[in-house]
Amino acid sequence: MESFSNGDEVQVVLEDKTLHGKYIDNPDKKFVSIKLDSGYNIGIEKKKVKSMKLIKKFHAALQKKEAVSEVKGRKSIVILHTGGTISSAVDYSTGAVTPHFTPEELVAMFPEINNIANISSRLMGNMASDDMRFAHYNLMAKEIEKEVKNRADGVIVTHGTDTLHYTSAALEFMLENLPVPVVLVGSQRSSDRGSSDAAMNLISACLFIAKTDFAGVSICMHKGINDTLALVIPGTNARKMHSSRRDAFKAVNADAVAEVDYHSGSVRMLHGNYKKAEKRNLNVLPFKENLKIGIAVSHPNMFASELLAFEECDGLVLEGTGLGHFPISEIDDFTKEHKKIFKAIEALAKKMPVVMALQTIYGRVDMNVYSPGRKLQDIGVLGNFSAMTPETAFIKLAWLLSNHPKDVKKLFMENLRGEIVKRVGVQEF
């Protein structure tokens, strides 16, 4: 088959019809994709294509991008890109999604940000958030440190949403004495959809940095399903709670920091209990990149062998049911395996730190209420009274093992970055 480029006008002849449209490169080489004259994209199995010919070669029009100049008196915000749809735009003439990373390209996409702050922007990485590893956290922290030393007033990190809350917790622990705001921003809807949340989330993050004295790590995403308010959530108390809704991120067991009104540009701080921006000496405390931290999920009909699979780990998070429960009680002939599960946890707790977190997400671990919980504490399971999400517990355990390996038992339940809340309120869930 002849070679084509994005945007080429092509004719595709099938057994029963002939299609006309713009060629779109498809990573699945078994299919041909074209944008029809109606505007819809269609994928066709190559084996069904009788012939395909070029009608007109696509030549991209040069788009003039306005130079971005600094305005005296405005804060300086650096946008670092790790990937995701938020910094991409669809070229509707070709149907292709194109990444945009330079300040000029961002201002062309989101012109409002040029009126909020002095913007600089660069590519730090281009990856799906599922591919993040501790090594990437270390790279991010170093790049943020570089911008803080260059006197940025704030840093925005664009990031895929799936593990955004893991990264926000990781950066919060790593960036000790952070003197400026670091705001992570993602997009739940791709930029080729009218319901995309990319623009509102990024602009709201810029407004938050420009108009407040907050310092620390946070996430800025939609508060509701409408393009009205964005919510700023503390980095160690956030979680993605929906696969596709624009308001997927919630503050868990803690209060959100602020609301940003996208239309008016106003920012409302929701409480005064936050670290304020001021001169501090930032210290980066990285992760050991070869650490193995496991997460074991309690479930019915569990077997001890499932837990023994974590023997080679350096630490383990138990994601318990209820108040922090695991099936460890032998109550009849059908539950003899539970005694083995208890012995497996006991053996693991002698080799590594084992901590408890909750499947319920909201609420607090309380292993004092029922005798199985007290037995788990007796064999060394940590985390009683913790309200950390499993993700934050995972990140904190890895960070402690990287930087304070001898003090994990002492520090796991100390409030280091706002992750240990004194009172669990009636936050939305």
CA–CA separation, 205 and 341 (whole Å): 46
Average pLDDT over residues 162-187: 97
Average pLDDT over residues 167-171: 98
So what's the pLDDT on residue 91? 56
Q: How confident is the model at residue 97 (pLDDT cuts 50, 70, 90)?
A: low
So what's the pLDDT on residue 411? 98
- The C-alpha angle with vertex 301 and arms to 297 and 307, in degrees rounded to 5, equals 45
Task: Flag whether pLDDT at 93 surpasses 70.
Answer: no
DSSP 127-178: --GGG--HHHHHHHHHHHHHHHHTT-SEEEEE--STTHHHHHHHHHHHEET-
**β-pair partners for 35:** 22, 41
Entry pTM: 0.84
Average pLDDT over residues 356-363: 96
- How many Cα atoms sit within 13 Å of 322 on the Cβ side? 12
Say if CB 200 and CB 299 are below 8 A apart. no
Which candidate in 240, 314, 389, 396 is catalytic?
240
CA–CA separation, 54 and 240 (whole Å): 45
Q: How confident is the model at residue 62 (pLDDT cuts 50, 70, 90)?
A: very low
Task: Flag whether pLDDT at 108 surpasses 80.
Answer: no
Q: How confident is the model at residue 410 (pLDDT cuts 50, 70, 90)?
A: very high
So what's the pLDDT on residue 104? 67
In tens, the pLDDT along 210-246 reads 999 999 999 999 999 888 999 999 999 999 999 999 9
Neighbours of 191 (CB within 10 A): 19
**Domains of the chain, each with CATH number or no CATH:** 9-56 (2.30.30.520), 76-284 (3.40.50.1170), 293-411 (3.40.50.40)
Which candidate in 85, 94, 158, 212 is catalytic?
85
Q: Which residues 6+ apart lie within 8 Å of 159 measured at CB?
A: 82, 83, 84, 129, 167, 184, 185, 186
Task: Flag whether pLDDT at 63 surpasses 70.
Answer: no
Say if CB 260 and CB 219 are below 8 A apart. no
Examine the residue annotation and report whether 85 is marked as an active-site residue of this protein. yes
248 — phi, psi (to 5°)?
-65, -30
Examine the residue annotation and report whether 161 is marked as an active-site residue of this protein. yes
CA–CA separation, 121 and 257 (whole Å): 25
Q: How confident is the model at residue 358 (pLDDT cuts 50, 70, 90)?
A: very high
C-alpha of 348 from chain center: 30
3-state secondary structure 364-409: CCCCCCCHHHHHHHHCCCECCCCCCCHHHHHHHHHHHHHHCHHHHH
Average pLDDT over residues 21-29: 82
Per-residue b or e along 46-84, where b marks 16 or more CB atoms closer than 10 Å to that residue's CB: eeebeebeeeeebeeeeeeeeebeeeeeebbbbbbbbbb
CA–CA separation, 60 and 29 (whole Å): 24
Task: Flag whether pLDDT at 96 surpasses 80.
Answer: no
**Sheet containing 216-222: which strands, arranged edge to edge?**
118-123, 76-81, 154-158, 181-185, 216-222, 229-234, 258-261, 267-269
Which candidate in 94, 161, 167, 236 is catalytic?
161
Q: What are the DSSP E strand ranges found in 28-142?
A: 31-36, 41-45, 49-56, 76-81, 88-91, 96-99, 118-123
Task: Flag whether pLDDT at 313 surpasses 90.
Answer: yes
Examine the residue annotation and report whether 162 is marked as an active-site residue of this protein. yes
Task: Flag whether pLDDT at 90 surpasses 80.
Answer: no
Examine the residue annotation and report whether 240 is marked as an active-site residue of this protein. yes
